[in-house]
Copies of this chain bind each other. A is one copy, B any other.
Amino acid sequence: MNDPPLFVLLNEISIIEHLARNRLERALPEGLRVSHFVVLNHLVRMGDGRSLVRIARAVQVERPAMTNTIQKLEARGLVTLEADPRDGRGKLVFLTPAGRAAREEAVAIAEAAIAPVAGDVSAAEVGVVLPVLRRLRAALDRARDDD
């Protein structure tokens, strides 16, 4: 079997993603899904007060999924919603203090979850790999827009 190199790479990426996601999912507090964590993380890192669509696009899910995720986060008191003053259709998502705290806790859990494998891949290696993957991601993103 000589599949194209990129094919093999994506296959490996797919497996790693699945393993890492499952591992994180089990480590997170009861009821806090990876998808929730991803949104909290995004809001902390990129800033809150963003619309649902914008967040959805950033984390690669469709709008209905984001509606669901945000409703769960709101029910937990981790985010609040406000009407967008500039757009009557939009809602803006804001982190609550509890939301920021939950994100901190989840990050600590995530780091602990990957600690056992951290020794197998050095920071230097990540430094080599990461730029290539970023380029790959950018290319996939561009290809998506072209469809």
Pick the contact of A13 from B3, B20, B22 — CB < 8 Å? B20
Instruction: For the complex, give the distance between the alpha carbons of A125 and B136 in Å.
Output: 11
Instruction: For the complex, give the distance between the alpha carbons of A3 and B123 in Å.
Output: 12
Min CB distance, A68 to chain B, in Å?
17
User: A4 near B111 (CB under 8 angstroms)?
Assistant: yes
Instruction: For the complex, give the distance between the alpha carbons of A21 and B17 in Å.
Output: 11
Min CB distance, A23 to chain B, in Å?
7
Tell whether A16 pairs with B121 under 8 Å between CB atoms, given A9-B130, A10-B114, A126-B5: no
Q: Tell me how many chains of this kind the complex includes.
A: 2
Complex interface residues of chain A between 99 and 136 (CB less than 8 A to chain B): 107, 110-111, 114, 116-121, 123, 125-130, 132-136
Q: Does A6 contact B (CB under 8 A)?
A: yes
Q: Does A98 contact B (CB under 8 A)?
A: no
| Interface mask (A1-33 → B, CB under 8 Å = 1, otherwise 0) | 101111111101111111111110010000000
